[in-house]
A and B are shown apart, each in its own frame.
Chain A
């Protein structure tokens, strides 16, 4: 599951705190972390890619050159340990989902992980919830309200809220172009959903507490 390419370059840049231009330069120069490309040419990073870039970014911040950091990454590959999850603080997630069955499952799994969930079954409710509940993340089914999900993505993203887009059909490129930070195709694996949410919120331990391999 960790190898599914899910994240846009913008989302990865925020997660590892390195500008997108630098990520592109590293890719071209060292060719160690090479994201797959979507049919539309978008770079798509897996969790593994993000983990590896995080390792490089941490080494660079310690004063090691990017070239040496990539060499260390190659030596450490497959040996990047994960720390225990963060206990987390109060986090509100907007779940804009048209399918009540899917909404119920997603809500259950997110609440089980300790998130607060605000549910909206149509786009108008979702916009209202963004203003009323000020969520830290929005999960948007692109088919909500007869296909208003892309517009909702743009709207929510413009307010500085990261978006995890969902759809039963393969519309990853359109979602990323509309400003979504990540895309998951339905039906959702519970673990994949929770991992993506944690990654985008920056609460994922593997993004913040990676211990460098010796």
Chain B
């Protein structure tokens, strides 16, 4: 059985290994407000046809009137489909019968015979539990229902407000072929929505926790960027390209390899963004469109900065993707980035800064995995990446990156402040270059109206403390 039932969302289908399995039984769990009913209705309108309609059965948790009233605010809700390819029915009457579950089962079977649906939703399924005289009676009902839904070719979604503890013990989870969890978790002072596939019988799926948002268009999932090691080979460009500053190119042994990644670390105000801007605008000059993916300066602030150095954001080959780190999902950001890269034919990216991205990640391991996956994708696509990283120490930097990203980067450049008599000096050091040599000396640089101007190495008696 390889046919899949689409949610209408390419990314959610990707999380599910292509979609729900056709003719399978699936449980959608989550607390009130997590979007279960929206998700179920998304499947309904995406898949219902006059030949194979969808039947939506409400129980006693939420009145059918309410489901419909709020349902019609969704963009995919088609009022003309009701009664032709989508049928909403209320099981409340059956549940008020003394043999509530037997009546309910009979009603469901009758619905399968009469409507011949391709998709069947029961919302809320959990609300059926109290109608069983005991656990055995509920299991018997469950067996009969599952037996009918296995014999008849329909995909079903059982929606319920199950908590994590119930998933381990409620018998419907043993019967189900697929289990999707929608959760709302606190993250600092905000709520983060997390979708997780807990079970998908006979199919692979993207494991782990995936962020999602709800809107009038339904559920938008951001699959966790976590690519496995790709053993495939890809073509490398044979010529090195300028990093944007001639003296830096010299220190890097004739520039950078295209498609490589570079980490620029340094304290606040040391010139990290500026060196990245050199990289972007030089790239544009040599036919490599750039993307400034900023989380700090908004476009207005950025325009003023770049104008100060004689550049402009008005050009077609430099694009800006500014996102506030407030209420941001890590993976939502990366999909926007990858889409922009594809849409504009981007060859150079400046990520400013890694620290802001890190703040939206749940933990350090996840963040490393994320950056690794991103850099693998850009390397395969031949897209170069500059990443800025703030270090805590203003003088005498002893620790480079809190996140271990320097190991993942092809090149590492350190910017430092040095005390020198009555003024501050700036210093640049190439700490690491992968697949090439480099100048190991500590070079002085200044920021002028032309940007960064690299000078000579420091004298041996210069203090770094």
Q: Which of A54-62, A66-74, A184-192, A201-209 contacts B (4 or more CB under 8 A)?
A: A184-192
With a CB–CB cut-off of 8 A, which chain A residues contact B147? 99-101
| Cα(A165)–Cα(B153), bound, Å | 17
Asked whether A187 and B113 contact (CB < 8 A) given A99-B147, A100-B147, A101-B148, the answer is no
Is there an interface contact between B113 and A101, defined as CB atoms closer than 8 Å?
no
> Are A188 and B148 touching (Cβ within 8 A)?
no
**Interchain nearest-CB distance for A129 vs B (Å):** 21
B96-126 contact mask (Cβ, 8 Å, vs A): 1 or 0: 0000000000000100110010000000000
Contact of A102 among B109, B112, B144, B151 (CB under 8 A): B151
* Complex-state Cα separation, A190 to B148, whole angstroms: 14
B153 touching A189, Cβ below 8 Å: yes
Contacts of B151 in A (CB 8 A): 99, 101-102, 104-105, 186-187
Query: What's the Cα separation between A131 and B18 when bound, in Å?
Result: 48
Contacts of B23 in A (CB 8 A): 187
18 additional A-B pairs beyond A105-B152, A187-B152, A190-B116, beta carbons within 8 Å, are A99-B150, A100-B147, A101-B144, A101-B148, A101-B151, A101-B152, A102-B151, A104-B109, A104-B148, A105-B112, A105-B148, A105-B151, A108-B113, A186-B151, A187-B23, A187-B150, A187-B151, A188-B153
For residue A100, which residue of chain B has the nearest CB? B147
* B144: chain A residues within 8 A (beta carbon): 101
Give the nearest-CB partner of A188 in chain B.
B153
| Residues in B whose Cβ lies below 8 Å from that of A99 | 147, 150-151
CB distance from A184 to the nearest CB of B (A): 11
17 A-B residue contacts at CB 8 Å?
A99-B151, A101-B147, A101-B150, A101-B152, A102-B150, A104-B109, A105-B112, A105-B113, A105-B148, A105-B151, A108-B113, A109-B113, A187-B150, A187-B152, A187-B153, A188-B153, A189-B153
How far is it, in angstroms, between the C-alpha of A104 and the C-alpha of B152 when the chains are bound? 10
**How many A residues have CB within 8 A of the partner chain?**
13
Per the 8 Å Cβ criterion, residues 121-174 of B in contact with A are 144, 147-148, 150-153
Q: For A188, what are the chain B residues with a Cβ–Cβ distance below 8 Å?
A: 153
Contacts of B153 in A (CB 8 A): 187-189
Instruction: Provide the residues of chain B in CB contact with A109, threshold 8 Å.
Output: 113
Residue of B whose beta carbon sits closest to that of A112: B113
**Would you give the shortest CB distance from B51 to chain A, in whole angstroms?**
8
**Residues of B contacting A187 in the complex (Cβ-Cβ under 8 angstroms):** 23, 150-153
Interchain CA distance A124-B152 in the complex, whole Å: 26
CA distance A109 to B112 in the complex (A): 11
B169 to chain A, nearest CB (A): 26
Chain B residue at minimal CB-CB distance from A1:
B51
1/0 contact string of A90-112 vs chain B (CB within 8 Å): 00000000011110110011000
Q: How far is the CA of A20 from the CA of B150 in the complex (A)?
A: 37
Tell me the A165-191 residues at the B interface (CB within 8 Å): 186-190
Q: How far is the CB of A163 from chain B (nearest CB, A)?
A: 20
Q: Residue of A at shortest CB range from B116?
A: A190
- Most B CB contacts (10 A, CB to CB) among A100, A101, A108, A189 go to A101
CB distance from A192 to the nearest CB of B (A): 9
3 cross-chain pairs, A with B, having the tightest CB-CB distances, nearest first: A102-B151, A101-B151, A101-B147
Q: Measured between C-beta atoms, what is the minimum distance from B116 to chain A in Å?
A: 6
Shortest Cβ gap from A59 to chain B (Å): 32
How near does chain A come to B448, taking the closest CB pair, in angstroms? 72
Compute how far the CA of A186 lies from the CA of B150 in the bound complex, rounded to whole angstroms: 9
Give the Cβ gap from A65 to chain B, nearest Cβ, in Å. Answer: 40
Q: Which of B109, B144, B151 has most chain A Cβ within 10 Å?
A: B151
A104-142 vs B: 1/0 string, CB under 8 Å?
110011000000000000000000000000000000000
Chain B nearest Cβ from A110, distance in angstroms: 12
Q: In the complex, which residues of chain A have a beta carbon less than 8 angstroms from the beta carbon of B109?
A: 104
Q: How far is the CB of B254 from chain A (nearest CB, A)?
A: 58
Residue numbers in B under 8 Å from A100 (CB-CB):
147
Cα distance A187–B118 when bound, in Å?
A: 12
CA distance A187 to B154 in the complex (A): 9
A101→B150 CA distance, assembly (Å): 8
Q: CA of A176 to CA of B364 in the docked complex: distance in angstroms?
A: 58
| Nearest CB in chain B: distance from A61 CB, A | 35
Q: How far is the CB of B173 from chain A (nearest CB, A)?
A: 21
- A109 to B, closest residue via Cβ: B113
Using CB atoms, name the residue of chain B closest to A187. Answer: B153
Task: Quote the shortest CB–CB distance from B24 to chain A (angstroms).
Answer: 11
